[in-house]
């Protein structure tokens, strides 16, 4: 009786199931436990770095919003001083830079101190009244505050604008 599978060599069959694959190991492709752990580790590192970058971007954005609002307040004070010279010069006033919309708790708002100084640019002397004779004066408005967020939360930031005017 002839075998269904033809062999060229004794002991070797041309059967697809026994085509030379070592016995005891499966020829199916799969992932080992180490490969799975490596893939999970890489995915975790990528996720953590993405979250860290998003957190950093959010902090920078909030600080930039505070700085922009401070610049707006300083420019507004400078314009008032330019048009109404010496009406409230040297008055350090508290300004709200960032209002968190919680009327019952104002301690979570970002506030700063605004000062407007008028100087004689030639001598550097601070003026409290219009110079006589009229000369060009330097007006400096500065707002100082402590940021609410990030690594700079313990530091003091300031925004200044300087302009010139003849009274």
Say how many domains are in the chain. Answer: 1
Range of the domain at 45: 31-165
> 158 with 141: CB under 8 angstroms?
no
* The model scores a pTM over 0.75: no
Q: Is residue 145 part of a domain?
A: yes
Q: Is residue 46 part of a domain?
A: yes
Q: Is residue 25 part of a domain?
A: no
**Which of 150, 13, 161 has its CA nearest to residue 82?**
161
Burial state string for 95-107 with b = 16 or more CB within 10 A and e = fewer than 16: bebbeeeeeeeee
Q: Is residue 19 part of a domain?
A: no
**Res 90: pLDDT:** 53
pLDDT tops 70 at residue 13: no
Q: Is residue 107 part of a domain?
A: yes
Strand pairing class (137-145; 157-165): antiparallel
Q: Is residue 23 part of a domain?
A: no
Average pLDDT value for residue range 157-161: 82
pLDDT in tens, 53-109: 999 999 888 888 888 888 888 888 777 776 666 544 556 767 777 677 777 776 677
Cis (ω within 30 of 0) for the bond into 115?
no
> 35 with 117: CB under 8 angstroms?
no
Q: Is residue 2 part of a domain?
A: no
**Would you state the structure tokens that stand for residue 107, as one six-digit string?**
């301690």
Q: Which residue has the tokens 């007006």?
A: 139
Q: Is residue 40 part of a domain?
A: yes
Instruction: For residue 160, list its beta bridge partners.
Output: 142
**Would you state the structure tokens that stand for residue 34, as one six-digit string?**
């180490």
pLDDT in tens, 102-157: 777 766 777 888 888 888 888 888 887 777 777 788 888 888 888 776 677 778 88
């Amino acid at each position: 009786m002839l075998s269904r599978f033809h062999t060229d060599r004794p002991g070797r069959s041309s059967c697809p199931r026994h085509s030379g694959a070592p016995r005891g190991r499966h020829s199916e492709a799969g992932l080992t436990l180490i490969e799975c752990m490596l893939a999970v580790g890489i995915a975790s590192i990528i996720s953590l770095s993405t979250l860290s970058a998003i957190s950093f971007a959010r902090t920078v954005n909030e600080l930039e919003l505070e700085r922009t609002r401070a610049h707006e307040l300083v420019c507004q004070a400078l314009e008032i001083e330019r048009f109404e010279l010496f009406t409230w010069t040297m008055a350090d006033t508290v300004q709200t830079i960032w209002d968190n919309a919680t009327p019952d708790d104002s301690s979570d708002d970002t506030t700063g101190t605004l000062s407007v100084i008028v100087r004689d640019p030639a001598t550097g002397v601070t003026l409290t009244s219009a110079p006589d004779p009229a000369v060009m004066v330097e007006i400096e408005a500065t707002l100082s505050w402590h940021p609410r967020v990030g690594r700079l939360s313990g530091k003091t930031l300031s925004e200044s604008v300087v302009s010139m005017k003849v009274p």
